[in-house]
Structure 1
Amino acid sequence: MLPTSLAGPTLNWFKNLASGSSASFQDLRDKFISQYYRNKRPAKDVSSLYTMKQHEDERFQAFLTRFNLVKSIVMECHPSTAVQAFKLAMNRRTPYHTSLVVNTPKTIDELNEKADGFVRLEEEEAANARKTSIIST
């Protein structure tokens, strides 16, 4: 039944195993883990959030995506800790930073919800800048 649940590169890996190379299902499982364990992202601790910084020329949405990616592999991080790390990491000259200081979200979900508005604002400002440059040329 196992081959019917595999697809793509994993199915190719399975098909390329030498016939009789696994003496048991546990042996096959061990080979599978050995093959694909390298693809697993290593877990990080909360200090990795505190070492992040938004680059001067980095758009807010790109930074938010990068922060959430790192946050997703951090082990055991309290929501308020993640929010605090985000506040420290972001560019302080943005309207979103000011908004976070005035009204700090309690969870990452609240932070992301609030961030959506600023992402839309950033996108609109970029679109307006493109329109202005087209008109002026």
Structure 2
Amino acid sequence: MCLLFPSTLSGATLNWFYRLSPRTINMLDSLKQAFLDHFMIQTDRLYSADDLYMLRQGEDEPLREYAARFNHEYSRCPETDDRAAFGAFKSGLRESNFRYLVHNNPWNTYAELMKQAAVHAKAEYFNSKRGLATPAHHPFDDPPPASAPNSAPPQHSTPAPST
């Protein structure tokens, strides 16, 4: 039984997949090991949880980009579990509302954390687009200047001294 969908594989992976001898892989773990054995040499190196703890969200980096970059690096860490990835992702967040929420909510799993990150990244994206189109008006800001016709400033005259 194969759980991979060939239409989602890249060209090189698809070629490798179709060249597997029929009935040689009967367990997902066997397929995983065969895949790693074949493609391991093509990677620079495999990463560990220590490497994930080195990742940091940039000051101007949107949450969406940080989460995507983190997930990509996490996928290169076969020996790292979700618990370590949860801690590493959390420690790499820059100061933000989302970081505050992560530290003050009962999200326990990496899947829950990533689900919330996706929700907040989407909101962050739409808020940034709205901010570019129309600036937000805050109730405590100075009111906008009233449009007045361009008239000459009032002239003040000093009365002439009386004699």
The TM-score bracket by the shorter chain reads 0.5 to 0.7
Given the superposition, is the C-alpha separation of residues 104 and 90 from structure 1 closer, same or farther in structure 2, using an over 3 Å criterion? farther
Q: What are the Cα deviations for residues 21-41 of structure 1, in whole angstroms up to 9, with x where unaligned?
A: xxxxxxxxxxxx6xx765335
Whole-angstrom distance in 2 between the partners of 1:90 and 1:104: 17
Secondary structure of the structure 1 residue equivalent to 2:60? coil
1:51-66 map, 5 Å: 51-66=54-69
Letter matched to residue 121 of structure 1: A
**Higher RCO (C-alpha under 8 Å, 6+ residues apart):** 1
1:35-54 map, 5 Å: 39-40=42-43, 42-54=45-57
Secondary structure of the structure 2 residue equivalent to 1:42? coil
Number of matched residues?
103
Match of 1:89 among 89, 92, 96: 92
* Structure number with higher helix proportion: 1
**Kept in 2: contact 1:79–1:106 (CA 8 A):** no
Whole-angstrom distance in 2 between the partners of 1:115 and 1:102: 14
Q: Which residue of 1 aligns with 2:117?
A: 115
The TM-score with structure 2 as length reference comes to 0.55
**Root-mean-square deviation (Å):** 2.5
Secondary structure of the structure 1 residue equivalent to 2:134? helix
The TM-score with structure 1 as length reference comes to 0.65
Whole-angstrom distance in 1 between the partners of 2:12 and 2:83: 40
Q: What are the Cα deviations for residues 4-26 of structure 1, in whole angstroms up to 9, with x where unaligned?
A: xxx96898xxxxxxxxxxxxxxx
Q: What are the Cα deviations for residues 30-83 of structure 1, in whole angstroms up to 9, with x where unaligned?
A: xxx6xx765335311111111111111111100010011111111322322211
Question: Where in structure 1 are there 5+ consecutive unaligned residues?
Answer: 1-6, 12-32
Given the superposition, is the C-alpha separation of residues 85 and 104 from structure 1 closer, same or farther in structure 2, using an over 3 Å criterion? farther
Question: How much has 1:114 moved relative to structure 2?
Answer: 0.9
Whole-angstrom distance in 1 between the partners of 2:114 and 2:133: 28
Runs of 4+ in 1 over 4 A off after TM superposition: 7-11
Q: Which has the larger radius of gyration?
A: 2
Residue 77 of structure 2 is aligned to residue 74 of structure 1: yes
Whole-angstrom distance in 2 between the partners of 1:125 and 1:85: 27
Over the matched positions of the two proteins, sequence identity in percent amounts to 23
Residue 116 of structure 2 is aligned to residue 106 of structure 1: no
